[in-house]
A = this chain, B = another copy of it.
Amino acid sequence: MPHGGLEFPILQRFLCVVEARTVPANPLEATTEQKMKVEQQARDEQAQKPLPKGVVLGPDGKPCRTCTSSASWKAMMKGATTQPTKVATTPPAGATSSLQPPPDCPPDVEQLGRSSWTLLHAMTAAYPERPSLTQQMETKQFLGLFSKMYPCWVCADDFRTWMKDGNEPRVSNREDFGQWMCEAHNAVNVKLGKQSFDCKRWEERWRTGWKDGRCD
Q: Which residues of A contact B (CB under 8 A)?
A: 58, 64-66, 73-74, 77, 101-102, 104-107, 111-112, 114-116, 118-119, 122-123, 125-126, 138-139, 141-142, 145-146, 148-151, 153, 205-210, 214-216
Contact = CB atoms under 8 A, between A and B. Distances in A.
A70 to B, nearest CB: 9
A122 B106 contact: yes
A105 B146 contact: no
A100 to B, nearest CB: 11
A82 B105 CA distance: 43
A181 to B, nearest CB: 12
A152 to B, nearest CB: 8
Interface residues of A: mostly helix, strand, loop or mixed? helix
B142 A149 contact: yes
28 contacts: A65-B207, A65-B209, A66-B122, A74-B216, A102-B214, A102-B215, A104-B205, A104-B210, A105-B210, A105-B214, A105-B215, A106-B122, A106-B205, A106-B207, A106-B215, A107-B118, A111-B118, A112-B118, A112-B119, A114-B115, A115-B115, A116-B119, A119-B119, A123-B149, A125-B151, A141-B145, A142-B142, A142-B145
> Taking the full assembly, how many copies of this chain does it contain?
2
Contact of A115 (B118, B214, B216): B118
A125 to B, nearest CB: 6
A195 to B, nearest CB: 13
Contacts of A104: 205, 210
Contacts of A77: 216
Contacts of A148: 138
Contact of A126 (B115, B138, B153, B206): B153
A106 B66 CA distance: 25
Given A102-B214, A105-B215, A123-B149, 16 more contacts: A58-B126, A64-B126, A65-B209, A73-B216, A77-B216, A101-B214, A101-B215, A102-B215, A106-B209, A107-B122, A116-B119, A123-B150, A138-B145, A138-B148, A142-B142, A145-B145
